[in-house]
Amino acid sequence: MDTLRVNGPRLCQSLAAMARFGATLKGGVRRLTLTGVDGAARDQFVAWARAAGLEVRVDGIGNIFCRRAGTDPDALPVGIGSHLDSQPSGGKYDGAYGVMAGLEVVRSLNDAGITTRAPLEIISWTNEEGSRFTPVMMGSGVAAGVFTLEHCLAQRDADGATVGEALRAIGYAGDAPAPRLGAYFEAHIEQGPILEAERKTIGVVQGALGQRWFDVVVTGQDAHAGPTPMASRQDALIGASRLVLEVNRIARSHPDEARGTVGALQVVPNSRNVVPGEVRLSVDLRSATDATLRAMVAALTACARVIETECRVAIAMQEVVYFPPSAFDRDLVGAVRAAAQALGFSHRDLVSGAGHDAVYVARVAPTAMIFIPCEGGISHNELESATPEDLEAGCNVLLQAALARAGVAQTQEALT
Amino acid sequence: MDTLRVNGPRLCQSLAAMARFGATLKGGVRRLTLTGVDGAARDQFVAWARAAGLEVRVDGIGNIFCRRAGTDPDALPVGIGSHLDSQPSGGKYDGAYGVMAGLEVVRSLNDAGITTRAPLEIISWTNEEGSRFTPVMMGSGVAAGVFTLEHCLAQRDADGATVGEALRAIGYAGDAPAPRLGAYFEAHIEQGPILEAERKTIGVVQGALGQRWFDVVVTGQDAHAGPTPMASRQDALIGASRLVLEVNRIARSHPDEARGTVGALQVVPNSRNVVPGEVRLSVDLRSATDATLRAMVAALTACARVIETECRVAIAMQEVVYFPPSAFDRDLVGAVRAAAQALGFSHRDLVSGAGHDAVYVARVAPTAMIFIPCEGGISHNELESATPEDLEAGCNVLLQAALARAGVAQTQEALT
């Protein structure tokens, strides 16, 4: 089995064919979850899965499970998957790579006439991105028992359509149960710059950073920019700008995988000649440990109190999201590392800074992830790019790690 | 004449009646220029002017001139005015006070049977605010030869309607020439906190701050907030936040009537978990001297270069507006100060931080302004407020200063 390899060109062809669903002029993908174009992409995936001999079922939230039977009727399946939905201006690889890599693993096993002991389950999770419906990672979250099905089916998009309606409209309101998994592997582009910068082919993902998100409102007082002397002002944007810089400073003061980002900021009234009376902004803090997250929040809160006094503004911070730091399964992470090693790929351990379906699946099944480099670390962007060599390498690691977990029962050669 | 006073309660009644045109639930005014409600307010003003015996003409840009004849056929008229249009969420006093004060001056002279040597011209200028159509101070700008009539008539609002169409729709596309003025007085709320803070009743306005406005684009690189280490980022919002603080610092380092404001700021893509790749912001610098404006721009440009290097972003600054500092007429300013003094009102010299119709009129006629306090310095806001006492005081100063300039020819008492 050690010499078995996936068909890299076929994998790239699958990715290219999938990228035509929702293709954008700039070479990216706009495939919002449960839209018509997502339905068409799902139909293509299902057709390919059936052609590869897989048994396809759909659960209540529209997750697609494609089973390749094993020889051991009692063995729990080894899941391989990711998601097919994209950001509004997304790329060809975020999500689709993990699903197409799972399909390529199956096709390669078919080509080689290999049957595994445990079944394989190639999975496409519904609505990982959360761009049309919240919460993000909806399908894996329902499967992992994080969200109830009823809650998610009732969520509405900006036009008022519910998830349930959207699922029915594209024919993916299923009723199959989500299978219990014995293991779960997800291959994904890194969405960051580390592998490329360090010229490593494989990221062996240890787990995911914890996240604490805040909505912050800085309140000052509107004033006419002309007649209001500097000393009289209560400029909310001055307070907000100081807070933005503090978020950055605090994250940098915890260099070990700590992140701090203000990604969204709105000024009120946002008029050229009015001193801003209010600024609303988001704060996204991430770290591998809850202790660091707590320290970052405490530091930010203390800074906010100083800014309130010095800038004569009020700062209200409300926590809106908390994802605890998550650690993947030691054995499965070891299988990924061993596969990369055996295949001769340069590799390094990484912690995922982003959320992935794997983070929820890890709550109910042993889980690991495989990262490959993406150009410039760019993702959630139409320019997202990965090399054929890296795509193939990650898929070979996936194949070997999954085989190590599922076990090889028999090969065609052995039978003939 | 020194004992002549305006009728304060009548002035306040006029202001209250005018504030019903476009009244908002929060007690402010929404009277965008050349809308139906502006037309109704104009009709009311014209009716009052005619009832006071004034001869009403409208020029090509819709400025309303209401003449009270003098005894000297060769004397140029003394203009008194301001504007009736408001900000989208404006107050009852910004602009309307100057027009209603002019009307009250005329009514008081009528009551006292006083005829002036030079005619008086009570003026309502079109579109001072610039909220619906740009440029701001359109009517006074046309009258002063800053803009051509044709250019202004062709300007469009957000719905595509032109100024010319809007003028015709409300019946204010006139053809009278704008009169040449021998002097111009404008009474206005301060729109800043200085008079209130120093408990002065009258601001003797020396002129207006010069203004230099810039559009700034800070360009970094979008990146996923999770997987992108802090050291790898090119966060446009970090660069922008530093620039916001530098604008503030630079203005404070020139304490003598220097102002620096970032009032508008947009983040792209403005998503909670994306490191901002671009920030667009406005910079508004003001000072009483061009030398200080130049020094502020030089300091800001130097800061931008440092920020570019330290934050790995690019900063493009484009100057979009320049109003030179303007000085009002020494004799007319003296007349205002003398009137305040003679009436026993506390007063101080001020420089206007905002633009006013008077700034354009000053290019073609001797001009002065009278400021009165407004509560909390708040303006361009529905909460705008001024006391009856201050409104009356400013109007009495206006009356005396205008009489000093126009000259008293005869009184009813003298005739009887």
Nearest to B313 by CA among B242, B263, B229, B225: B242
The model's confidence at residue B413, banded by pLDDT at 50, 70 and 90, is: low
List, for residues B203-262, the tens digit of each pLDDT value. 999 999 999 999 999 999 988 899 999 999 999 999 999 999 999 999 999 977 899 999
Predicted confidence at residue A77, as pLDDT, reads 98
List, for residues B179-189, the tens digit of each pLDDT value. 999 999 999 99
Its sign, for the CA torsion A407, A409, A411, A412, is negative
- R_g of chain A, CA atoms, integer Å: 23
Would B100 be classed as within a structural domain?
yes
Which residues of A are less than 8 Å from B259 in CB distance?
Answer: 225-226, 228-230
Are residue B41 and residue B93 in the same domain, yes or no?
yes
List, for residues B151-202, the tens digit of each pLDDT value. 999 999 999 999 999 999 999 999 999 999 999 999 999 999 999 999 999 9
Q: Phi and psi dihedrals of B5, rounded to 5?
A: -135, 150
Q: What DSSP string runs through B71-97? A: S-TTSPPEEEEEE----TTB-SSTTHH
The model's confidence at residue B410, banded by pLDDT at 50, 70 and 90, is: confident
Q: Which contiguous run of DSSP H or E holds residue B101?
A: helix B96-112
Are residue B318 and residue B373 in the same domain, yes or no?
no
Interface contact A265-B222, CB threshold 8 A: no
Are residue A195 and residue A54 in the same domain, yes or no?
yes
Are residue A262 and residue A204 in the same domain, yes or no?
no
List, for residues B17-26, the tens digit of each pLDDT value. 999 999 999 9
Interface contact A242-B242, CB threshold 8 A: no
Q: Rounded distance, CA A120 to CA A238, Å?
A: 56
Inter-chain Cβ pairs, chain A and chain B, closer than 8 A:
209
Nearest to A324 by CA among A151, A188, A207, A185: A207
Are residue B56 and residue B137 in the same domain, yes or no?
yes
Residue A411, helix vs strand vs coil: strand
The model's confidence at residue B416, banded by pLDDT at 50, 70 and 90, is: very low
Are residue A312 and residue A397 in the same domain, yes or no?
no
The model's confidence at residue B378, banded by pLDDT at 50, 70 and 90, is: confident
Would B16 be classed as within a structural domain?
yes
Identify the CATH number of the domain in which residue A103 sits.
Answer: 3.40.630.10
Are residue A146 and residue A169 in the same domain, yes or no?
yes
Q: Rounded distance, CA B291 to CA B325, Å?
A: 10
Predicted confidence at residue A416, as pLDDT, reads 46
Are residue A88 and residue A40 in the same domain, yes or no?
yes
Would B177 be classed as within a structural domain?
yes
Which residues of A are less than 8 Å from B207 in CB distance?
Answer: none
Which residues of B are less than 8 Å from A274 in CB distance?
Answer: 263, 380
The model's confidence at residue B2, banded by pLDDT at 50, 70 and 90, is: confident
Are residue A63 and residue A193 in the same domain, yes or no?
yes
| Owning domain of residue B172 | 8-208+325-415
Tokens representing residue A326 in the block = 């998550």
Predicted confidence at residue A413, as pLDDT, reads 60
* Domain end marker among A302, A323, A344: A323
Pick B263's closest partner by Cβ from A251, A276, A380: A276
Give the DSSP letter of residue A405. H
Interface contact A238-B226, CB threshold 8 A: no
Interface contact A226-B192, CB threshold 8 A: yes
Interface probe, candidates A254, A272, A281, chain B, greatest B C-beta count within 10 A? A272
Question: What ipTM was predicted for this assembly?
Answer: 0.86
Q: Rounded distance, CA A357 to CA A74, Å?
A: 26
How far off is chain A from B218, nearest CA to CA, in Å?
Answer: 14
Q: Rounded distance, CA A78 to CA A122, Å?
A: 9
* Domain end marker among A297, A323, A349: A323
Q: Count how many domains chain B has.
A: 2
Q: Which contiguous run of DSSP H or E holds residue A293?
A: helix A290-311
Predicted confidence at residue B208, as pLDDT, reads 96
Interface contact B244-A241, CB threshold 8 A: yes
pLDDT at B414 over 60: no
* Domain end marker among A298, A323, A348: A323
Tokens 């051991």, located at residue:
A72
Q: Rounded distance, CA B38 to CA B59, Å?
A: 16
**A336 and A188 Cβ atoms separated by less than 8 Å:** no
- Tell me which amino acid residue A291 is: A
Would A3 be classed as within a structural domain?
no
Low-confidence ranges of chain A (pLDDT < 70): 412-416
